[in-house]
């Protein structure tokens, strides 16, 4: 399977600030990437995806950036809200194995 | 959108008993479902891959006789924790991969999870 890892295990931001969560992957053949959000006691939920023929994709308050040169992708959350507090996972090519995730904590 | 229903959401059982967890894809067919377990503040750990009509494929270190998986239809997979012990207490999550590209667009859809507590 793919090897996908996350740079930071925890991230704490102030409410209203922007958040950036990073992810690295190892297989240069990966061509599809997904970000998931998992709130405490719940299953992961799809946030946004991106294919390798794009380097940026925007959703509502979220943006995913893909840098194929360095095999890195990031999730940017604009105007972070308390409801954004969760663990965020990235996945490549629907690899069923996830890395540790990044726990985002939003301070009021 | 695609929905995966997992039941029950929580269960408490006595040591030595068996517990069955159901995972259903409600509005799409899922030839492949996945079962994970998750301990507090840890990541999802893939336990097994469940394919409709065939035996499940277990990850290394996961006891197939302990965690029985049945995927009898395109919309239902079950995980049975047999002779449960306190160390089996964990959060179990299923996910499904849709077969209809147009509807599910290759994404994994997750159930809401089952918190198992074995006394």
Q: What is the pLDDT of residues A70-106, one digit of tens each?
A: 999 999 999 999 999 999 999 887 677 887 789 999 9
CB contact under 8 A, A94 and B97: yes
pLDDT at B105: 55
Q: Output the CA torsion B55→B56→B59→B61 (10° steps).
A: -70
Nearest by CB to residue A44, choosing from B41, B46, B110, is B110
Q: What is the mean pLDDT of residues B74-91?
A: 95
User: What is the DSSP-derived secondary structure letter of residue B88?
Assistant: G
Max mean pLDDT range (A14-18, A41-45, B2-6): A14-18
* Chain A residues with CB-CB distance to B95 below 8 A: 43-44, 96
Q: Is the CB of residue A11 less than 8 Å from the CB of residue A21?
A: yes
Q: Is the CB of residue A64 less than 8 Å from the CB of residue A17?
A: no
Spell out the residues 6+ positions from residue B66 whose beta carbon is closer than 8 angstroms to its own.
B81, B82, B83, B88
pLDDT at B104: 47
Closest by CA position to B94, among listed B18, B41, B36, B47: B36
Nearest by CB to residue A98, choosing from B41, B43, B49, is B43
User: What is the DSSP-derived secondary structure letter of residue B59?
Assistant: P
How many Å apart are CA B73 and CA A56, to the nearest integer?
Answer: 38
Q: Tell the residue number behind the tokens 């918190």, with chain if given.
A: B115
Q: What are B24-73's pLDDT values in tens digits?
A: 999 888 888 999 999 888 888 999 999 888 889 999 999 999 999 999 88
How many Å apart are CA A49 and CA A36, to the nearest integer?
Answer: 9
Confidence of residue A3 (pLDDT cuts 50, 70, 90): very low
């Amino acid at each position: 399977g793919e090897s996908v890892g996350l740079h930071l295990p925890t991230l704490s931001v102030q409410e209203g600030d922007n958040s950036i969560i990073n992810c690295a992957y190892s297989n240069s053949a990966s061509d599809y990437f997904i970000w998931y959000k998992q709130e405490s006691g719940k299953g992961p939920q799809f946030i946004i995806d991106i294919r390798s023929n794009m380097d940026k994709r925007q959703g509502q308050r979220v943006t995913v950036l893909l840098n194929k040169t360095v095999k890195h992708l990031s999730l940017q959350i604009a105007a972070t809200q308390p409801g954004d507090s969760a663990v965020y996972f990235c996945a490549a090519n629907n690899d069923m194995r996830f890395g540790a995730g990044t726990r985002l904590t939003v301070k009021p | 959108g695609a929905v995966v229903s997992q039941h029950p959401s929580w269960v408490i059982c006595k040591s030595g008993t068996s517990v069955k967890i159901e995972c259903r894809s409600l509005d799409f067919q899922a030839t492949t479902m996945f079962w994970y377990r998750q301990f507090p503040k840890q990541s999802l750990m893939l336990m097994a891959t469940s394919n409709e009509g065939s035996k499940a494929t277990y990850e290394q270190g996961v006891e197939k006789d302990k965690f029985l998986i049945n995927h009898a239809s395109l919309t239902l997979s079950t995980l049975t924790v047999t002779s449960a012990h306190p160390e089996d207490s964990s959060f179990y999550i299923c996910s499904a991969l849709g077969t209809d590209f147009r509807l599910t667009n290759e994404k994994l859809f997750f159930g809401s999870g089952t918190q198992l507590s074995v006394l």
